[in-house]
Structure 1
Amino acid sequence: MNGDWLLRGPDGRLCVYLPSGDAVQCRAELGPGGPWEAPRRVGGEQRLHPGVSLGQGVDGYTHLVAWRPTARGESGLVHSTHFRPRLAPLDWEPLGHPDQKGDRTGTPAVAVDAQGRAHVFVRNAGGGLSMRAQKQKGGWGPWRDLKGRALHGTCVAVAGRDGRIEAYVAAPGELLYWRQEQPGTKFTLVEKVAAAARPDTLRALDTSAERTTLFFTDDSGTLCAWRPGGDPVPVVAAAGPGPLAAVRCAIDGHDCTLFAQRAASGRVAFAAYPSEEETAGAWWTESGPQLPADAEVALALDEAGRVTAAAQSPATARLWLARRKEEPGLALAAWQSV
């Protein structure tokens, strides 16, 4: 999964997206706070390759992108939109291939601008970054080569609060950053910075009205933060090797960035610090049951603005959730299997 897979829809209900063999399934709350409906297949009966990427716009609509097999040794990207958690997502529509044809070139990333247009980023066969975006009046624009070389790992994309889309990706010994100068304009490779980032640990988040922050784990196992225009700074040792979840939330009246990650112990670890104040430091606290080795963690805010944590295991098809208690601090209620 690339991107947030626990999301709040425009009706306030939470929805999760789960890999399931050659498909993606979604589950939604029947009402804010639960209970949850049974899993439903996304996008019809079309077979997919493992892995799906997700992005959500300010309208609450979720955009999903995945690879599907098209011919022997070849694949193409497909896109679906999910307007509301209790509605069925649209059928998958083809997006083509960044190199016209060929096999999978990398995990895509999705971000949605203030006008609701999805932007899909993926590495191309030449090792650079390609992008295709929805048009304002429907349909899709052409694939565009944004350049770059020797890119590896998973690209991440994020919509800043000023409406611009930004993308980050790793290359050997460095991180690269693309952005639009104005919403709806072309993308420019703005900056590179020296960093020994583990390729598939990138996570981007809008941390203020003006800036986004890239979080990544470096080769020493340290979770670092980078905002373009500065240098990466360490935050805390990573809790474990799994993907990082992050959300911006209010804790006791303070604007904070909250992390969650499957710890080496198998439980979910949480750490928080004042947004963009990395020098304040952060400390992990573990919670919940011991999870399977393939478990991934996600964070979201529910209809009441409460932090909600989820963990899912593709191998066991199990889903666990916990919500923040109505008390000071970051105490969570007991985890529940749903």
Structure 2
Amino acid sequence: MNGDWLLRGRDGRLTVYLPSDDAVLCRAELADGGPWEAPRRLGGDQKVLMRPAIGQGANGYAHLVAWRPTGSGQAGLVHSTHFRPRLAALDWKPVGHPDGKGERTGTPAVAVDVWGRAQVFVRNGSGGVSLLGQREKGGWDAWRELGGEGVQEQLTAVAGRSGRVVEVYASVLGGLLHWRREKPGTQPVRSPDAEAAVRPGTLYALATSEEHTTLFFTDADGTVCAWRPGQGDPVPLLPAAGPGPVSAVRCDIEGTDCTVLAQRTENGRVAFAAYPTEQESAGAWWTESGPPLPADATVSLALDEHDEPVAATVSPSTGTFLLSRRKDEPGLALRAWQEI
């Protein structure tokens, strides 16, 4: 999934969004710390393709966007809003195609601004990036083409700490692209590109201060790097633990604002690292946790009702859903993984 699929809802309960053959399933905590409800289908009976993109606003509402089949070789994007973990989500509603019509063009990315409006970004048929934004009083604006050329499949979008600024990142052969939208209804502005040999499918963005978001990615040499547009070139952080993207969250560790990273390792376990936020020069190192997981397992991080980090893994092939929470002790020690 593109975005965090483990979320803390408006009522403080955790929710996971799980991929299925032609649907999105969700599960929510029934109480703080569990137990969890059984999986239920999200968005009605409409079939969707691949995995959805997920974004969450300051109000706790989750916005999901996915492709659906619309005919022979044709696809269109659909959107759903999930207001509270234990309530049913809205049915999928069509929101169009960046080229008007055609086949699936790329994995969408979603960011939600402070006003609760989803901003949907997706690669278009020309190899650039297109934007679809929600209106203030409902409905959607027209598609906007932002530019770019040779954009790779995966994008990542994020709202800044204030929620007013929305940013999207993309990778191309030999570089990174970035757009920043300062105000609602305005055209996102493209920043100067950054040179980087990006491993496709490894982009992840996080709001790390009032002024900046940080993009994490793995380069061709297998190093996790961090980039904040306007603050120079990407910087190496630590060797990648495994092939996929990291998940990241900010939290307080012993009075220090830290960024916690998680990534599935080459041997299938989950590795964690933490460092003072935006201080990559301090260094970071991985600590592995949990049992070996199937090759298709993914990991996501969130904060629970007590602002403590919690990690989840899910494997579509086996349906296994595991969860681990921070121990009540100094440092970033985690409890044993629990199968939900």
> What interval of TM-score do these two structures reach, taking the shorter chain for normalisation?
over 0.9
Q: Could you report, residue by residue, the CA deviation over 1:108-158 in whole angstroms, capped at 9, with x for unpaired residues?
A: 000000000000000000011000000000100000001111111301000
Corresponding residue of 1:92: 92
Corresponding residue of 1:186: 187
Secondary structure at the residue paired with 1:279?
Answer: helix
Tell me, yes or no, if structure 1 residue 199 matches structure 2 residue 200. yes
Q: State the alpha-carbon separation in 2 of the partners of residues 206 and 303 from structure 1.
A: 19
Q: Percent of aligned positions with the same letter in both sequences?
A: 65
Equivalent residue runs for 1:1-338 within 5 Å: 1-162=1-162, 163-229=164-230, 230-338=232-340
* TM superposition score normalised by structure 1: 0.99
Secondary structure at the residue paired with 2:51?
Answer: coil
* Amino acid paired to 1:285: T
* TM superposition score normalised by structure 2: 0.98
* Amino acid paired to 1:317: G
* Amino acid paired to 1:217: T
Maintained 8 Å contact 2:80/2:93:
yes
Maintained 8 Å contact 2:247/2:300:
yes
Secondary structure at the residue paired with 2:281?
Answer: helix
Maintained 8 Å contact 1:178/1:191:
no
* Amino acid paired to 1:192: D
Maintained 8 Å contact 2:17/2:27:
yes
* Amino acid paired to 2:103: D
Q: Could you report, residue by residue, the CA deviation over 1:227-270 in whole angstroms, capped at 9, with x for unpaired residues?
A: 00111000000000023111111111100111001111211100
Maintained 8 Å contact 1:58/1:116:
yes
Q: State the alpha-carbon separation in 2 of the partners of residues 18 and 60 from structure 1.
A: 18
Maintained 8 Å contact 1:165/1:183:
no
Q: State the alpha-carbon separation in 2 of the partners of residues 311 and 273 from structure 1.
A: 22
- Point out 4+ residue stretches in structure 1 off by more than 4 angstroms: none
> Using a 3 Å threshold, how does the CA distance of structure 1 residues 183 and 138 change in structure 2: closer, same or farther?
closer
Return 5+ residue gaps in structure 2 as ranges: none
Q: State the alpha-carbon separation in 2 of the partners of residues 126 and 320 from structure 1.
A: 40
Maintained 8 Å contact 1:80/1:92:
yes
Deviation, structure 1 residue 183: 4.3
Q: Could you report, residue by residue, the CA deviation over 1:173-231 in whole angstroms, capped at 9, with x for unpaired residues?
A: 11001011334422111221111111210000001111000000000000000000111
Q: Could you report, residue by residue, the CA deviation over 1:13-66 in whole angstroms, capped at 9, with x for unpaired residues?
A: 000000011100000000111000000001011011111100000000000000
Q: State the alpha-carbon separation in 2 of the partners of residues 184 and 76 from structure 1.
A: 23
- Superposed CA RMSD: 0.8
Maintained 8 Å contact 2:9/2:61:
yes
Secondary structure at the residue paired with 1:201?
Answer: coil
